[in-house]
């Protein structure tokens, strides 16, 4: 009798475990992707990733969500996503405020048929703006940007201008338009702003989509980088990290990372995503240094007020 009860107890435990496993397996794995282009376009681009991960882990379902900066911040804070794919500057913010893990992998972009693991920022004006040709000419102008959170659409350019003695937003008027980066291009073309900031590759995407003629614009501070296939105005930084949230099961995170590294570059899905795959995580410490220099979140708390700050604040009065 005792043996029968023990067997029944073991069977009940196994049934309970199987039920829990089934329920856990039924819960979709949510991947939050920052949408720097229009959301439907971002979702269509990254939807194949859900199918690829499902094929690698048939017991799980994967859902890709295209989110703006505020939406992704909230999703991380509320633990509504399990993984994130976002720009490195935003990633640094999420590690400090949302507990996001060290990167599992770094994106390798397919940029005009070439594998690219870095990207930069672009500064541009309308072609007929004869008075805007150098970084110094940007001072005092109206600049169209998506958000102060945007690494390729603001922070990279702000850092480059800071090295030239121009501080943003003090030395120019910022026109904050929100995502996607297309908004900044449109604002410059219709004359709402004199200068626009976007991440590298956006202008070429718009040309390919038939929405822009490169003869309409002028690239400012053009960098001549033989191995970089698109226009850029700043130094280059590591591509986007793929990272897990604290609540994500460690075993799941390992399996997802393994699947990312095993992606085959020459497939229809990869061509649709316009990537070559994922590489071992890059070093994102320089991103923290850039944000500290610009005093942007999460490094925007009060710091030592030095002579340079004194002069910047009171130079007119002095």
Q: Which domain holds residue 67?
A: 18-116+239-294
Same structural domain for residues 130 and 216? yes
Q: Is 127 helix (H, G, I), strand (E, B) or coil?
A: coil
- Classify residue 226: in a domain, yes or no: no
Q: Give residue 18's pLDDT.
A: 41
CA distances to 107, 128, 195, 211, 273 from 215, rounded to whole Å, are 31, 10, 15, 12, 28
Taking the C-alpha atoms of residue 44 and residue 127, their distance in angstroms, rounded to an integer, is: 33
Same structural domain for residues 144 and 167? yes
Taking the C-alpha atoms of residue 218 and residue 318, their distance in angstroms, rounded to an integer, is: 38
Same structural domain for residues 77 and 151? no
C-alpha angle with apex 65: 200 to 249, nearest 5 degrees?
A: 110
- Classify residue 312: in a domain, yes or no: no
Same structural domain for residues 109 and 124? no
Predicted confidence pLDDT, tens digits, the chain (318 residues): 445 544 444 344 334 434 434 444 468 999 999 999 999 999 999 999 999 999 999 999 999 999 999 999 999 999 999 999 999 999 999 999 989 999 999 999 999 889 999 999 999 999 999 999 999 999 999 999 999 999 999 999 999 999 999 999 999 999 999 999 999 999 999 999 999 999 999 999 999 999 999 999 999 999 999 889 999 999 999 999 999 999 999 999 999 999 999 998 879 999 999 999 999 999 999 899 999 999 999 998 755 445 555 455 555 554
Overall pTM surpassing 0.85 (yes/no):
no
Q: Which helix (H) or strand (E) holds 84?
A: strand 83-85
- Classify residue 307: in a domain, yes or no: no
Same structural domain for residues 91 and 132? no
Two tokens, residue 25: 């397996």
- Classify residue 305: in a domain, yes or no: no
Say if residue 180 is preceded by a cis peptide, omega within 30 of 0: yes
- Classify residue 229: in a domain, yes or no: no
Q: Give the CATH number for residue 166.
A: 3.40.190.10
Domain boundary among 220, 251, 276: 220
Domain count, the chain: 2
Same structural domain for residues 61 and 210? no
Same structural domain for residues 28 and 104? yes
Same structural domain for residues 108 and 250? yes
Same structural domain for residues 246 and 108? yes
Same structural domain for residues 106 and 130? no
Taking the C-alpha atoms of residue 270 and residue 264, their distance in angstroms, rounded to an integer, is: 7
- Classify residue 227: in a domain, yes or no: no
- Classify residue 199: in a domain, yes or no: yes
Same structural domain for residues 171 and 205? yes
Cβ contacts of 236 within 8 Å, gap of 6 or more? 118, 119, 120, 225, 228
Same structural domain for residues 123 and 185? yes
Q: Give residue 264's pLDDT.
A: 86
Tell the residue number behind the tokens 């850092």, with chain if given. 159
Q: Give residue 137's pLDDT.
A: 97
- Classify residue 310: in a domain, yes or no: no
CA distances to 154, 186, 221, 256 from 133, rounded to whole Å, are 19, 20, 8, 46
Buried b (16+ CB within 10 A) or exposed e, 121-130: bbbbbbeebe
């Amino acid at each position: 009798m005792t043996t029968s009860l023990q067997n029944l107890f073991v069977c009940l435990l196994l049934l309970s475990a199987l039920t829990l496993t089934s329920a856990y397996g039924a819960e979709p794995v949510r991947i939050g992707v920052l949408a720097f282009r229009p959301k439907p376009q971002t979702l269509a681009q990254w939807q194949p990733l859900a199918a690829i991960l499902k094929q690698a882990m048939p017991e799980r379902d994967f859902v890709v969500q295209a989110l703006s900066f505020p939406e992704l911040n909230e999703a991380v804070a509320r633990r509504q996503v399990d993984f994130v794919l976002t720009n490195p500057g935003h990633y640094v913010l999420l590690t400090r405020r949302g507990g996001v893990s060290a990167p599992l992998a770094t994106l390798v972009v397919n940029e005009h048929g070439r594998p690219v693991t870095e990207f930069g920022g672009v500064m541009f004006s309308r072609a007929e703006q004869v008075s805007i040709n150098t970084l110094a000419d940007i001072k005092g102008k109206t600049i169209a940007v998506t958000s102060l959170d945007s690494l390729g659409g603001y922070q990279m350019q702000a850092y480059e201008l800071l090295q030239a003695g121009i501080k943003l937003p003090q030395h120019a008027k910022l026109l904050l338009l929100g995502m996607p980066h297309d908004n900044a291009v449109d604002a410059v073309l219709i004359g709402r702003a004199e200068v626009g900031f976007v991440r590298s590759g956006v202008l070429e995407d718009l040309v390919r989509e038939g929405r822009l003629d490169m003869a309409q614009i002028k690239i400012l501070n053009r960098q001549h980088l033989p191995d970089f296939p698109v226009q850029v105005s700043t130094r280059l930084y590591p591509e986007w990290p793929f990272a897990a949230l604290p609540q994500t099961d460690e075993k799941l995170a390992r399996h997802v990372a393994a699947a990312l590294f095993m992606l085959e570059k020459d497939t229809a899905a990869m061509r649709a995503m316009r990537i070559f795959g994922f590489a071992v995580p890059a070093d994102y410490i320089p991103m923290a240094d850039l944000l500290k220099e610009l005093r942007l979140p999460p490094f925007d708390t009060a710091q030592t007020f030095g002579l340079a700050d004194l002069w910047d604040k009171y130079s007119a009065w002095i």
